[in-house]
Structure 1
Amino acid sequence: MTDKALSPGGIGNKVSSIPWFLNKKVLFFITLALLVLIPIGVGDDYIYHIFITICLFAGLSTAWNIVGGYAGQLSLGHAIYYGIGAYAGMLMLNAGVSPWVSMFVGALLSAGVAVAISYPCFKLHGPFYALASIAFLEVFHVVSLNWVSLTGGANGVMVPLDIGWHTMIFTERLPSLIIVFGLMLVTLAVAWAIRRSKLGYQLIATRERESAARGAAIRTVHVRLYAAAISAGLTSMLGTFHGSYLTYIEPESVFNLTFSIQIVLFALVGGLGTVFGPLYGTILLVPITELARGWLGSSAIGLHGFVYGIVLIAVVLFMPDGIMSLFQRYLPKARVRQFNAKEESPVDRVHLDDIRSTKRPPTGDIILKVEHLDKHFGGLHVTQDVSFDLRKGEVLGIIGPNGAGKTTLFNMISGFLRPDSGSVAVLDEDGLFIAPKTPGAFARSGVGRTFQIVQPFAAMTVEENIMVGAFYRFRSVEECRKVAREIAYELGLYRFLDEEARNLPIGGLKRLEVARVMAMRPRILLLDEVMAGINPGDLREAIELVKVIRNSGISIVAIEHVMQAVMELSDRVMVISSGEVLAEGKPEEVVKQEAVIEAYLGKEVSHASSE
C-alpha cells in the first residue's frame, strides 16, 4: 500500500461542535420530557389518554423493532405476546396477584412461546416467520374464543375496580401515564443497550448478510431467538399494563392482526433498526388518528387506516429510511479530530512497517487435509475427487476457467456446502485433526473466508464490519473497537472507519472483507478472487497486503484469475477444470503445461503455441 494511503489523518475520537440545542441526545430528552409535561400542563383527561397511548405504542413498537428491525425478521403476529401479557395480568389480578408480579410471569411465558414459534422458522429462509406469526396469532385468537372457562370467550374478562398502585387501576390518568412512561423508558433502554452490545452488532450483521455472518462464527439462529424472546417479553409487560388500564379485554381486541400491523407501521415510519425511530413514528401517527377520532366522532370509524396509508406513502416517497433519516440529513454532524498514530495504541498494535519488515517464516506441518471431495448438483458433477494438503504458512493458488468448480470447492472447505463424499480435516490448536461441518465450526477451527461476490454488512460502518469479526475472539465492545481500528490502520481503511460499507468502491469492499476475516485471527485464510475487478494501483496494494498476511504465518488458499498475483504470491498452484484437478506444482511450471493452456484458451490456441 502506498504511503499516501496510510498517512495519518481522518479518524479518531469525535469532538462535538454541534450547538447544544441541535444535539440529537438533547432533542431526544426534550421529546421525552414533553411526553409528560404536555398532558400535565393541559390537564385534560382526553389529552392524558392520547399521551398514554403514545407511550404504550412507542414501547410496543420499540420492542417489536428488536426482532423486526435489528434482526430483520418480519413478525406480523406480535399481538400474541401483548395478548398473553394482558390475559396473564387480568386472570392473576382476579386471583389476587398484583400486575407488578404477573407482568413478569406473562413476560416469561411470552418469551417461551416466541422461542417455540421462531425456532423452526429461523432455520428456514423466506417469508416463513411472517406467515407463521400470522398463523399462530389466529390460533391464539380461536383458542381464546373457545376456552371460555379461562378467557371468558367472546365475553372477555373484567377486573374489580380495586383502585390503587398495587392493581394499576386509578381514577386519575396521571399515575397510568407515569407507569406506561416508565415501561416505555425500560423498553427504550433495553433497545439502546442491545444495539450497542455484541448481540446488537451480530443481529444487524445477520440481517444484512446471513452467509457472511455465519462465516464470522455467528450463531445466526441463536441470536435471532434471543431477540425474539426479549421482544416478546417486553411486549407482554406492556400488555399487562394495558389490560389493567382498560379493566376489560376480549379476544377480538387483543389477538388482533390490525393491532400487530399498527405496531410494525410505527417502527417503519420512524425508522427500522434505529433505537428511537419507533418513538418518533408513534408521536407522528397516534395524535393524528386519535384527534381525528375525537373531532369527527362516529363518522371517523376506520379513518386511522386511511391516515396510516397516507403517511406511509409519504414516508416511502420522501424519506424511505424513516423519520430518523431526517436527523441524519439535516442536523449538523460532529467535527472529527484527526487520528494521531503516536497516541496510545490499541490492543496489540503492530505497525505496518514492522510487519512488512518481518521475514517470512518457513512453511510448517500440514494444517489442512482435503481428501477426495465430490459434489453433484442433480446430474452435474461439479467437483470430482479433489484432494490436496496445505501447510502452515503456505500460499496455495487455485486457478481454472470459469465454471470449473473452484467456488464450490471453497464452499465445501468452509462448511457452506456438504460434500457428497470425501472429507475436510483441520489441525486444531491442540494438534489434532478435526472435521468441522458447519460454517461456524470451520470459523471456530481457524478457517476464515472471503466471498467471490463481496458480502459487506452494508448498513454498518467500516469499523462495525470489522468489529463483527473481532467479536469471535473478544467479548468487550471496546476491545473489539480497538482491534478493528488496529486492523483498519494496517489495511489502509482507517480513513473510512465512519463510512457506511455500502459507500465504498469495489476495491475497498474487498479489502474490508479481508479485514473482517483477519479480525477473527484465522490460521487459514480462503481468498475467493479478492483481486478481480480492481484497478492496477489497487492490485499492487492488494498483492502487498497478501504478502503482509502471509508473512504473519497464516496459511492461504487463493482462488484467483489475475496471473500476476498468482505467479508472485503462490508457493504452489493447483489447476481445476470441469471439477477435476488438472495440474499441481510450482507456478512457473504449471502455467506452461499444455493441458492448462488448453483449459484456459482452447485446443486450437494450445496446438498453435506448441507448433
Structure 2
Amino acid sequence: MTMPQLRSLLPAILFTIAYAAVSLSVTNSYYQLVLTLVPVWAVFGLSWNLLSGYTGLISFGHAAFFGIGAYTTALGQIYFDLSPWLLIPIAAMLGGIAGLLIGFPTFRLQGHYFALAMLAYPLAILYVFEWLGFQEVTLPMKRDAPIAYMQFGDPRLYTLLALAIMLATIVLTRIIEQSRFGMALLAIKQNEAAAEAAGINTLAWKLRAITLSGAIAAAIGAFYAQVLLVVTPQSVFGMLVSAQALTVAMFGGVGTVWGPVIGSVILIPLAEILHAEAGDRFPGIQGVIFGFAIICVILVAPEGLFWKLRDLLRKRFPRKANAAPDASQPATATVTPLHTEPRKRAAGSEVVLEVRNLSRSFGGLKAVQNVSFKLHKNEILGIIGPNGAGKTTLFNLLNGFLRPDEGEVLIDGRNMSGERPHTICEAGIGRTFQVMRPFLRMSILDNVVVGAYVRAKTEDEARKLAADAVARVGLSDVADRVAGELSTKELRLMELARALAGQPRILLLDETLAGLGHGEADEVVAVIRQLARDGITIAIIEHTMQAMVRLVDSFVVLDHGAVITEGEPEVVTRDNRVIEAYLGKKWVAHAPH
C-alpha cells in the first residue's frame, strides 16, 4: 500500500480508535449492544455500497447474503460443533458463491427490474427456512471454551471485534476504490454504455462486485448471529434487513466508504433506542425511522450527507486552480491549429474494416438495409445522410451495441458481428457518442484512464497512456478538472481522448462536432486530421458538411437505412440523389468547385 493510500485511511483509523475508547467506557449492557450494532450495520452498508453504491444497480435483496451468513454460524455450531472463528470465513465463501449465482442471471436486468428481482431472493429463502422448520434457532452455549466459540463474558469485546471487522472492510473498500476494480465500477455507474465502449467488460466487473459484496454481507451476518445468539428467518432475511443496508448507505452517502459509517452512527442508535422506549406502543417504529430517513435524503441530499457536505465545503472553500500563464483567464482546452492540406490515402491500401450486407430491423422499421462498404487503412470515411437514415444504428452494429439481423462486420478479415462492445474495443475499435457520455464525477484524466485499461496491464501504464491521449487532444492543462464542469468542446475532446487511450486502430466518431461553434469545430477537426496523419483510421458521422468535405477522403451516403452512393467528396456532393435526399438544392450554389 502506498503512502497516499495510508494517509487516506488515517481518518478511519482515528475514528475507530475514538469509537473504541467510547465503547470501553460504557458499562450498560444494552447501550453496549447498540454500540456493537453500529459497526455491524456499517459493514453491512459497506457491502451493499460495494455493489449498489459503485455500480448504481440498486439491490433490495442484500438480506439474502446476510441471512445465509447468520444461518451458517447457527447451523454450523448446532450440527457440526464448529467454532465461529472458522464458520465466519465459511459464511463469507458461501455468500460469495450466492452472489455469483444470483448475479449471473439477474444482471441481465436493468433499473427497477433489477431491484425488484433482487427483492425476491431473500423472501424466497425466508420461506424455505420456515418450511424447513428453522423458525427460531438458538446458538448452543459453550461454557467450557467460550473464547473458542466467541462467547465473551465482557460485551465490550464484541464491540471491539465489530470495529476491527469494520476497519478491515473500510481498508478493503478504499483499496478497491483506488484500483482498476473501483474505477471500472464507477464508470459503469455513471455510464455503462460508455464503459463498455471503452473496453470495460461490465458483466465481469459486476459479477466480481456482487461476489465480494455477498461475501462481506454473509461474514457480518454470521457475526451478527453470534452477537444475538438467536436467529429467525424474519430477523435476517426480512425486508427491514435489506432496507437497513440500503438506508444507512443512502443516508450517509453512496459510493464512498464514509456513507454507511455516517448513516449507521446516526440512524442505528436512534432506531434502537426509540424501539426500546416506544416499541410496545408503536410497533414497527424502526421501519418508520428508516423510511423517514430515506424521505429526508431524497428531499435534502439525494446522494447522501457525505456528498452534500463535501459539495457545500467545496463551494465555501474552493480549491486553488493550478497556475496558468494568464491567471485572469479561465482554464480551457488548448489545441494548436494544424495544417489542413489535402491528405490522400494510397490507392489499393489495406482494408481494415469491411461491412457486408449489414441489416437491422426494429419491428417493421428497417433501420439498416444491406449496407456494405470498406474502410481502408489511414482513411477518413464520412458517413452522412438525413436524420433517421440509420447512421448511429450502423455505428451501434459496428461496435456491438446492437446485433445485426443479417450481414458481417469484418475486422482484419475476422467476423466480429454480434460481439460485445468491450470485445470489439479490444480488437482495436474506439468509439465516441452522438450524445456525450462522460463520467461526470471523474476528472478528465480519470475518464481517460478508464479507456486505457483495455490495453494497460498496470495502473502506472494506464495513467501514462491516458496522459499521452489527453496531450494529443490538447487537454493537459485542464486534466484535473471534473468532467461535470467542462464545456461542450472540452467534453468532446475528452471523449476523443478516452477512445484514444485504448490505442485503437479504428475510430468511430459519432457527430463529434455537434454543439460546437465554428472556431471550436475547426479546432476539433484539426485534432482529427492529426490523428489520421498518426496512422489512425477514422469513420465519422457528421451533419456539418462544410467541415466534412474538407476533412474526409470519401463518403458513404445513407437514406432510409440503405447506401445510395459512395465516393470522393467532390463527386458525392454533386450527386442528384444525395442532393435530393440530404443536402438540398441550395447546396449546389454553395458546393466547392
Q: How many angstroms does 1:356 deviate by?
A: 8.1
Q: 1:477–1:359: structure 2 CA closer, same or farther, 3 Å change rule? A: farther
Contact 1:395-1:572 at 8 Å conserved across structures: yes
In structure 2, the CA distance between the partners of 1:594 and 1:520, relative to structure 1 (3 Å rule), is same
With over 3 angstroms needed to count, the CA separation of the structure-2 counterparts of 1:356 and 1:53, relative to structure 1, is farther
The answer as to 2:310 corresponding to 1:327 is yes
**1:435 counterpart = 2:416:** yes
Inter-partner Cα distance in structure 2 for 1:122 and 1:471 = 22
- Work out whether residues 403 and 417 of structure 2, in 8 Å CA contact, stay in contact via their aligned partners in 1: no
Deviations 1:178-230 (A, max 9, x none): 21111111211121111111111111111222211211121111111110010
Residue of structure 2 equivalent to 1:103: 88
- Separation in structure 2 between the aligned mates of residue 359 and residue 573 of structure 1, nearest angstrom: 15
Change (3 A) 1:193 1:206: same
Match of 2:526 in 1: 544
State whether structure 2 residue 373 is matched by structure 1 residue 383.
no
Q: Secondary structure at the match of 2:168?
A: helix
Are residue 567 (structure 1) and residue 566 (structure 2) matched? no
Paired position in structure 1 for 2:331 = none
Cα 1:359/1:560, change in 2 over 3 Å: closer
CA 1:160 to 1:279, structure 2 compared with 1: closer, same or farther past 3 Å? same
- SS of 2:111 mapped into structure 1: coil
Give 1:329's aligned amino acid. Answer: L
Q: 2: distance between equivalents of 1:474 and 1:167?
A: 47
Structure 2 residue aligned with 1:524, among 480, 492, 506? 506
1:131 paired residue among 100, 116, 125: 116
C-alpha change, 1:49 and 1:361, in structure 2 (3 Å) is farther
1:535 aligns with 2:521: no
Question: Mean alpha-carbon deviation: is it higher for 32-41 or for 314-323?
Answer: 314-323
Q: Aligned residue for 2:138? A: 157
Q: Which residue of 2 aligns with 1:66?
A: 50
For 1:463 and 1:206, locate their aligned partners in 2 and report how far apart those are by CA, in whole Å. Answer: 17
Question: Quick check: 1:576 aligned with 2:558?
Answer: yes
* Counterparts in 2 of 1:603 and 1:420: CA distance versus 1, 3 Å: farther
Once the two structures are superposed, the pairs formed by residues 33-182 of structure 1 within 5 Å of their partners are 33-94=17-78, 95-148=80-133, 153-162=134-143, 164-182=146-164
Question: How far apart in 1 are the matches of 2:376 and 2:146?
Answer: 73
Name the SS of the counterpart of 1:287 in structure 2: helix
Q: How big is the shift at 1:165? A: 2.5
1:594 alignment counterpart = 576
Structure-1 separation of matches of 2:135 and 2:264: 30
Shift of the 310–352 alpha-carbon distance from structure 1 to 2, 3 Å rule, reads closer
Q: Secondary structure at the match of 1:172?
A: coil
The residue number in structure 1 matching 2:328 is none
Alignment match, 1:9 = none
User: How far 1:365 sits from its partner (Å)?
Assistant: 0.9
Distance 1:537 1:604, change over 3 A: closer
Q: Do the aligned partners of residues 355 and 83 (structure 1) sit closer, same or farther apart at CA in structure 2, a change above 3 Å counting? A: farther
One-letter amino acid of the counterpart of residue 258, structure 1: L
Asked if structure 2 preserves the Cα contact closer than 8 Å seen for 1:361 and 1:553, the reply is: no
Alignment pair present for 1:276 and 2:261: no
Structure 1 equivalent of residue 432 of structure 2: 450
Does the 8 Å CA contact 2:61/2:119 hold for their aligned counterparts?
Answer: yes
Structure 1 residues 330 and 354: alpha-carbon distance in aligned structure 2, compared to 1, 3 A threshold: closer
Name the counterpart of 1:253.
235
Superposed displacement of residue 338, structure 1: 4.5
TM-aligned CA distance change 1:444 to 1:228, over 3 Å: same
Q: Shift in Å at residue 157 of structure 1?
A: 3.3
Report deviation, 1:472: 0.5
Deviations 1:235-284 (A, max 9, x none): 11111111111111121211111111011000000111112211111111
Deviation sequence 1:294-315 (CA, Å, 0-9, x none): 4446335432233333333332
Residue 137 of structure 1, CA deviation? 0.9
The CA deviation string for residues 142-169 of structure 1, in whole angstroms up to 9 with x for no partner, is: 1111213xxxx22323322435332111
Q: Which amino acid aligns with 1:53?
A: L
Instruction: In structure 1, give the amino acid aligned to 2:313.
Output: Y
Deviations 1:75-131 (A, max 9, x none): 111111111111111222232211111112111111111211121111233333322
Is the aligned partner of 1:285 residue 2:267? Answer: yes
Select the residue among 416, 420, 423 that pairs with 2:405: 420
- Report the CA distance shift for 1:37/1:262 in structure 2 as closer, same or farther (over 3 A): same
Contact 1:76 1:133 in 2 (8 A): yes
CA distance in 2, matches of 1:446, 1:605: 36
Over 3 Å counting, the alpha-carbon distance change for 1:91 and 1:603 in structure 2 is same
Distance 1:114 1:356, change over 3 A: farther
Within 1, Cα distance between the matches of 2:390 and 2:120? Answer: 42
CA distance in 2, matches of 1:514, 1:469: 10
Q: CA deviation at 1:41?
A: 2.5
TM-score by length of 2: 0.90
Identity %: 33
Q: Which residue type is aligned with residue 230 of structure 2?
A: Y
Q: 2:222 aligns with which of 211, 216, 240?
A: 240
Q: 1:357 to 1:388 in 2, by over 3 A?
A: closer
RMSD: 2.9
Structure 2 portions without partners, runs of 5+? 326-333
Aligned counterparts of 2:489 and 2:378: Cα–Cα separation in 1: 25
Deviation at 1:607, TM superposition (A): 12
CA displacement 1:576-605 (0-9 Å, x = unmatched): 122222222111221122221111255799
Q: TM-score, normalised by structure 1?
A: 0.87
Q: Is the 8 A contact 2:340 2:526 kept in 1?
A: no
State the AA in 2 paired with 1:44.
N
Alpha-carbon spacing, 1:179–1:572, altered in 2? closer, same or farther (3 Å)? same
Q: CA deviation at 1:339?
A: 8.3
Paired residues of 1:448 and 1:522 also in contact (CA < 8 A): yes
Q: Which residues of structure 1 form unaligned runs of 5+? A: 1-14, 16-22, 341-350
**Residues 339/145 of structure 1: CA separation in 2 closer, same or farther (3 Å cut):** farther
> Is the partner of 2:135 in helix, strand or coil?
helix
Q: 2: distance between equivalents of 1:243 and 1:399?
A: 64
CA–CA separation in structure 2 for the residues paired with 1:142 and 1:420: 44
Aligned to 1:184: 166
Q: CA deviation at 1:520?
A: 0.6
Q: 1:41 to 1:334 in 2, by over 3 A?
A: farther
Range moving further from structure 2, 284-293 or 508-517? 284-293
Against the structure 1 CA distance between its residues 365 and 497, is the aligned structure 2 distance closer, same or farther, given a 3 Å change threshold? same
TM-superposed CA distance for 1:418, in Å, is 1.9
Contact 1:598 1:606 in 2 (8 A): no
Quote the Cα distance in structure 2 between the aligned partners of 1:361 and 1:182: 66
Q: Is the 8 A contact 1:436 1:442 kept in 2?
A: no
Separation in 2, partners of 1:353, 1:287: 59
Secondary structure of 1:457's counterpart equals coil
Segment drifting more, 402-411 vs 309-318: 309-318
| CA distances 1:518-542 after superposition (whole Å, capped 9, x unpaired) | 0110000011110012111211111
Shift of 1:39: 1.6
What is the alpha-carbon distance in structure 1 between the residues aligned to residue 319 and residue 366 of structure 2? 56
Q: In the aligned structure 2, how far is the partner of 1:358 from the partner of 1:540?
A: 14
Answer yes or no: is the 8 Å Cα contact 2:336–2:523 preserved in 1: no
SS in 2 for 1:272: coil
